[in-house]
Amino acid sequence: MATTEERPLFSFGIIADVQYGDLDDAMNFTQTKKRYYRNALYLLREAVQHWKEENRIQFVLQLGDIIDGFNTRRKNSENALQAVLKEFQGVPFGLHHIWGNHEFYNFSRSYLMKSPLFTGPESQDIASNLKEVVKKEADAVYYDFSPYNGYRFVILDNYDISMCGIGRDKDSPQYKKAGEILRQMNKNEELNSPDGLFGVDRRFVLFNGGMGEEQLQWLRETLEVARQRGEKVVISGHVPVHPNSCYVMCLLWNYQDVLNILQDFSDVVLAYFSGHDHGGGYHFDSGNEIHHVTLPGVIEVPPGSNAFGTVDVFSDRLVMHGVGQLESRVMK
Ligand SMILES: Nc1ccn([C@@H]2O[C@H](COP(=O)(O)OP(=O)(O)OC[C@H](O)CO)[C@@H](O)[C@H]2O)c(=O)n1
């Protein structure tokens, strides 16, 4: 008897922390894991090739840190960016690029807004209208889109309030606010150091960031509209928001504000996807049935393996097919 295989409603690709650079392999800051800067480009190429061959994804969520901050030391940021973007040239699927701390080590927000790494819905208009770019310079980049009837994806800007690199102008209210938060919580001269901080307070380091009031309000409103429309929502940002889904030093500064919103909209939100913690992680919040997936970072995957995936969306579950270090799982 012939069996009918259930087909997903739609599918998408996920990958995080490629952190490409034309640099020799080196250990991370804590000397615990090796970073394979050049190999990361080959792993990205392999991921793109895999998605092309699978021939079913509608878009990729590139979860941030696509090139490494060390590119700035060699004044090689633009070349590195061109190299990774070349891998996506002519792909038969959409791209959603999320901005992480390493984007801001390399580029200002105004540069990013004009680059292909800006994939917001108005990206076409903005690229062709410089006035708009100037107006939007101080804005955070968060947006939502619906790839399939009944489903909505939300892209967050986790470095809205941040002092990372050259992302925010030093005179901007967001940079000043970040300074107030960090200096109140972290008494070290080197603000990337978590010394003297314990538990979840270790998140108050320079390489993390936070989300402003306006963005939080927008998130609430977006989820409210999704609820009224009967949509299911998947949220993504570079930085994890659940302490059990990552190493706590990698958490969003105001992760609790986001968790409170997710709690209030647990009938709508299915999952939160992030990167940032290269070790990866996963937590199912049984209180509100939301899945928190932190992808392993490609940069720390040795040659011979990889870390990316394809997520098939069915009406009652997300099925994540992981490749290499990304574990496969069924998320009901
Ligand atoms: N304990 C630390 C860790 C890092 N730094 C410095 O902070 C900058 C960013 O660090 P980096 O490890 O490159 O950031 P990633 O986003 O790649 O990774 C985040 C987590 O570590 C991944 O698990 C850099 O300048 C480091 O030197 C520090 O001072 N102290």
pLDDT given for residue 129 in this prediction: 46
> Which amino acid residue places its CA nearest to atom 21 of ligand 1?
277
Q: What is the DSSP string of 300-325?
A: GPPTT--EEEEEEEETTEEEEEEEET
- Give yes or no for residue 192 CB within 6 A of ligand 1: yes
Q: How far is the CA of 206 from the centre of ligand 1 (A)?
A: 9
Q: What is the DSSP string of 100-156?
A: -HHHHHH--HHHHHHSTT--STTHHHHHT-HHHHHHHTTS---EEEEEETTEEEEE-
CATH number of 10-331: 3.60.21.10
Please compute the mean of the pLDDT values over residues 16-40 and round it to a whole number.
98
ipTM for the complex? 0.94
Q: Report the candidate in 165, 192, 189 with the shortest Cα–Cα distance to residue 77.
A: 165
Sign of the Cα pseudo-torsion (79, 80, 81, 82, in order): positive
Using one digit for the tens of pLDDT, what is the confidence trace for 268-323? 999 999 999 999 999 999 999 999 999 999 999 999 999 999 999 999 999 999 99
Indicate if the pLDDT at residue 248 is higher than 80: yes
Q: How far is the CA of 303 from the centre of ligand 1 (A)?
A: 22
Closest approach atom of ligand 1 to CA 69: 13
Pairing outcome for strands 290-294 and 269-274: parallel
Measure Cα distances from 71 to 68, 91, 112, 137, 307 in Å.
6, 26, 16, 23, 22
Please compute the mean of the pLDDT values over residues 241-261 and round it to a whole number.
98
Q: How far is the CA of 246 from the centre of ligand 1 (A)?
A: 15
Q: How far is the CA of 249 from the centre of ligand 1 (A)?
A: 10
Using one digit for the tens of pLDDT, what is the confidence trace for 71-83? 999 999 999 999 9
Closest approach atom of ligand 1 to CA 190: 29
Using one digit for the tens of pLDDT, what is the confidence trace for 221-238? 999 999 999 999 999 999
The residue ranges of every structural domain in the chain are 10-331
Q: How confident is the model at residue 130 (pLDDT cuts 50, 70, 90)?
A: very low
pLDDT given for residue 2 in this prediction: 47
Q: How confident is the model at residue 202 (pLDDT cuts 50, 70, 90)?
A: very high
pTM above 0.90, yes or no: yes
Q: How confident is the model at residue 140 (pLDDT cuts 50, 70, 90)?
A: confident
d(CA 216, CA 316): 28
d(CA 257, CA 329): 27
- Give yes or no for residue 207 CB within 6 A of ligand 1: yes
